[in-house]
Amino acid sequence: MESKIIGKVNFEEHLLDKELKLIDTFEFNDSYSEYASGIWKTCMLWNRSGQKDDHLSIEHDTYVKPTEYGKQLAYVNEIIANTFKKEHIKTVRLFMCINGLIIPHKDYLEFKKGFTRIHIPLKINEHALTSEEDVVYNMQKGEIWFIEGRKIHSAANFSKVKRINLVIDFAPDIPFEELFLNSENYQPNLIPKISQRTQLKEEELGYIKGLSKIINEMNFDDILSILSKIHFYRNVSSELVFGWLDEIATASNNYNIQRKAQEVTDLLIRKGPINN
């Protein structure tokens, strides 16, 4: 796995709790909903324009400004300012997920280079999981995670309690230690909490393929969501979602389903968003 922990923030719990209460009042946005199932939303804290309604993370060559929401989070801002070199930051957001997931996908397909993206969990639970290919892990609060978006990755929260991550996009190609204000805060040897999963049974594989018998335009998204969840509890790579979807679509003999399967695979792992 290429995603890894690169450092740790030791939060002052009462200060973080106060900001989480404030975050609860923020309006989160639906951008990237084509990658999501269930509740998965974003909130813009710092970006190029300083506008909270500029919801996308984009490549740019200038400095970031806090948005109306970013300005309110004094403690989070202090943590960022004390930990990282601000000049490398391109976007700061919050990702929120409740009883939902982000379908396995690759990032940056729409960009020239993309970013070095890090996540810092602010609110976690044991059912809030992240994956890269054939590894599933449970990010812990305060861990600074580099997420290799160029590999197929996915994230979920199988709980009705909110999951919140702080997400910072840095300029690409800068060594990790140089993203930190103090290079001693770069800690590459912290051990992640990897989830143990059980073997996918032959019988289960049969039922997965049997979804070809019920797939239609009404349940297509639900079936994609079911396929996306399997690797979180069975010992398989998230990449299999696309092979299964292709087999199910082919066996369905339904042209519209085959086309939808191609389109969603293009979006998620081949071409990215089309209008870019």
Binding region for ligand YCP (CB under 6 A): 32, 35, 95, 102, 107, 149, 153
Nearest-Å Rg of the Cα atoms of the chain is 19
Span near Co ion by CB under 5 A; candidates 13-21, 102-110, 244-252, 263-271 = 102-110
Q: How far is CA 86 from CA 49, 180, 203, 265, in A?
A: 16, 9, 52, 35
**121 touches Co ion by CB under 5 A:** no
Residue number closest to ligand YCP, CB atom? 32
If one asks whether residue 149 binds Co ion (CB under 5 A), the answer comes out as yes
Q: Which does 148 bind (CB under 5 to 8 A by kind): ligand YCP, Co ion, none?
A: none
| 114 touching Co ion, by CB under 5 A | no
| Strand ranges in the chain using DSSP code E only, listed in sequence order | 4-8, 36-47, 65-66, 89-105, 116-123, 128-132, 135-137, 143-147, 153-157, 163-170
Closest distance of CB 42 from ligand YCP, Å: 7
Q: Which of 132, 126, 135 is nearest to 158 (CA)?
A: 126
**Using the rule CB under 5 A, is 148 a contact of Co ion?**
no
Choose between 107 and 133: whose C-beta lies nearer to Co ion.
Answer: 107
For position 100 contacting Co ion by CB under 5 A, the verdict is: no
**Judged by CB, which is closer to Co ion: 147, or 211?**
147
Output the smallest distance, CB 102 to ligand YCP, in A: 5
Query: Among 143, 61, 73, 134, which residue's Cα sits nearest to residue 104?
Result: 134
DSSP H helices, 150-239, are 176-179, 202-210, 220-233
